[in-house]
Amino acid sequence: METLRASPLVEMRGIVKRFPGVLANDHIDLSVLPGQIHALLGENGAGKTTLMNVLYGLYQPEEGEILYRGQKVRLASPRDAIQLGIGMVHQHFMLVPPLTVAENVILGTPSAGKVLIDLDEAYAKIESLAERYSLPVEAKAPVWQLSVGEQQRVEIIKALYRGAEVLILDEPTSVLTPQEAEGLGKVLRRMAEEGKAVIFISHKLREVMSLCHQVTVLRDGKVVGTLPTTDTSEKKLAALMVGREVLFDVKKGERAPGPPVLEVQDLEAIGDNGLMALKGVAFEIREGECVGLAGVSGNGQRELAEVIAGLRKARSGEVRISGQATTNDSPAAIIQAGLAYVPEERKRVGTIAEFSIADNAILETHEWRFSHHGVLDRKAINQYADGLIRDYDVKTPNRGNLARTLSGGNLQKLILGRELSRRPKLLIAAQPTRGLDVGATEYIHQQLMAAREQGTGILLISEDLDEVMSLSDRILVLYEGQIVGRLSAAEADAETLGLMMGGAKVELPGS
């Protein structure tokens, strides 16, 4: 064995962090070696982000100590952490959109505090960092123009610019395409080779196995194991993480497709930026059929979903739901025609944070199902909400709790339950499991397949290729507002799809 072990760069000992009613971190030990990519794996609510916020100085632990290069340190704020050399890339980026990349990078550093800001120095330094770690960015571009992947690179450069020796990344790949994730992996490996330490928060087993050296698994605020990835497998990690065996394969019953529930013809629509987002999209979905729509975000997926749901005007073309023309009808009329929609942004669009769970459950149906003579039927609403909480496994103490108290997975279960309980003819599910943990993802997949079994046609919009391939009967690839690929699930593989998502023309036999 090794005779000389490197001493840890960062050590956390016995960290305890409580929130009212929750023990988020329960005596957690974590030690991260230089030159390693250390995964922090766990379901949502396991305490990963809390622990890292402690390390980044955002939270103060009730108990425990933090050592940096063997020295005990006190991190009262992120400023302290940054000064030591700890950087963090949050799940939600902390960038100022109107400012340029360089301006964002120097924000908060001493050079931004001067009366006259010397950006040339920043440009040079950014360029050299970008080159060294292969992080291509345009230093003079305003951040709002950048794609999500580019913004993430800016965040990493920001941390490196401040001299980070330890870089924490919170679920960094959840917003990336497979190819972008691959690129990120290279950057992180490069950093590790230089002797930096990377802490990689994730719940995606595959990338943890392929990218990380060491993995610490958290469950319910406790460490349930720390082990080198060479000693374990995806299945073992999943079991550690969830506390039980996990079914990876979704059961997809054979089903003969029925009549079409969605017909889209020559659809054109304008995006938020005023440019054409959909350029003549045409496809159909039949009863009991799940059609996966793969593509990198920003290629028209959101616009397509919104046009079908009546939330965005079609410039031309036609949408029919169950044979009924619904093009540019009001959202209410389209809901009545049989559409259910699980939107991509479950907090901003799918629910009302300051409404109770029960009130969120009746968003579309409060008038026609839960009102009599102009008065809301509270008793029926409560019964229905309790049923939804029970049937869709929404973990909450009470239907009266505000929606914002629910975790991402439970919020999604609530939305899915609400949408499916209308027995829709067509369901649009946009990124239905993005950011969810293994348990919740498994559950959402089962519910989607159960709905398909009962005859609901499903349009599954997802960037997660595994998800698209395992759930769909057919797969469409959307690129720059056009469908550039149509495959049956049987002939699809990740590589082909990934290439198509990037706009490459792929010759397929028989298509």
Residues that bind another protein (CB under 8 A): 19-21, 60, 76-77, 309, 311, 330-332, 334-335, 341, 343, 348-355, 359, 362-364, 366-367, 370-371, 374-376, 378
Q: Give min distance, CB of 367 to another protein, in A.
A: 5
HSE (side-chain half, CA atoms, 13 Å) at 289: 21
CB of 61 to another protein, least distance (A): 13
Of 309 and 429, the one with the shorter C-beta distance to another protein is 309
DSSP state of 244: S
- For another protein, give the closer residue by CB, 73 or 499: 73
Extract the tokens encoding 203. 């719940």
290-294 and 474-479 beta bridge pairing: parallel
With vertex at residue 289, the alpha carbon angle to CA 284 and CA 295, rounded to the nearest 5 degrees, is 65
Question: Closest CB to another protein among 23 and 352?
Answer: 352
Residue (9 or 357) nearer to another protein, CB: 357
* Nearest distance in Å: CB 62, another protein: 12
Beta partners for 22? 19
Q: Which is nearer to another protein, 260 or 310 (CB)?
A: 310
Nearer to another protein by C-beta: 77 or 316? Answer: 77
Instruction: Yes or no: say if 264 and 283 are a contact pair by the CB < 8 Å rule.
Output: yes
Joined together, the tokens standing for residue 475 give: 């797969």
C-beta of 74 vs 114, nearer to another protein: 74
In the complex, least distance from residue 330 CB atom to another protein, rounded to whole angstroms: 7
Please name the residues in contact with 83: beta carbons below 8 A apart, sequence gap of 6 or more: none
Please name the helix (run of DSSP H) or strand (run of DSSP E) that holds residue 151, with its range, or none.
helix 148-161
Nearer to another protein among residue 243 and residue 400 (C-beta): 400
SS3 294: strand
CB of 366 to another protein, least distance (A): 5
Name the burial class of residue 507, with classes exposed (0-12), middle (13-18) and buried (19+) by CB atoms within 10 angstroms of its CB: exposed
Measured in whole angstroms, the distance separating CA 201 from the mean position of its chain's CA atoms is: 13
Contact 242, 45 (CB under 8 A): no
Minimum distance between the CB of residue 95 and another protein, rounded to whole angstroms? 18
Nearest approach, Cβ of 437 to another protein (angstroms)? Answer: 21
Burial class from Cβ neighbours inside 10 Å (0-12, 13-18, 19+) for residue 256 reads exposed
**By C-beta, is 202 or 396 nearer to another protein?**
396
In 10 A of CB 137, how many CB atoms?
Answer: 21
Helix, strand, or coil (residue 463): coil
Token output for 356: 């109770």
CB of 377 to another protein, least distance (A): 10
Residues 410-431 as b or e (16 or more Cβ within 10 Å = b): bbbbbbbbbbbbbebbbbbbbb
Closest separation in Å from C-beta 149 to another protein: 25
The residue among 202 and 410 lying less far from another protein, judged by its C-beta, is 410
CA-based torsion, 345, 350, 355, 361: positive or negative: negative
Nearer to another protein, 60 or 233 (CB): 60
Q: How near is the Cβ of 333 to another protein at its closest, in Å?
A: 8
**CA gap 367, 381 in Å, rounded:** 11
Q: Is 386 exposed, middle or buried (0-12, 13-18, 19+ CB in 10 A)?
A: middle
Give me the least distance between CB of 364 and another protein, in Å please: 5
E-assigned strands of 371-493?
A: 371-372, 375-376, 426-430, 457-462, 474-479, 482-488
234 CB contacts (<8 Å, ≥6 apart)?
A: 205, 206, 209
Q: Cα(425)–Cα(502) distance, rounded to whole angstroms?
A: 32
Nearer to another protein, 199 or 357 (CB): 357
Rank residues 17 and 204 by Cβ distance to another protein and give the closer one.
17
**Shortest spacing between CB 292 and another protein, in angstroms:** 22
Least distance (Å) from another protein to the CB of residue 380? 13
Judged by DSSP in three states, 293 sits in strand
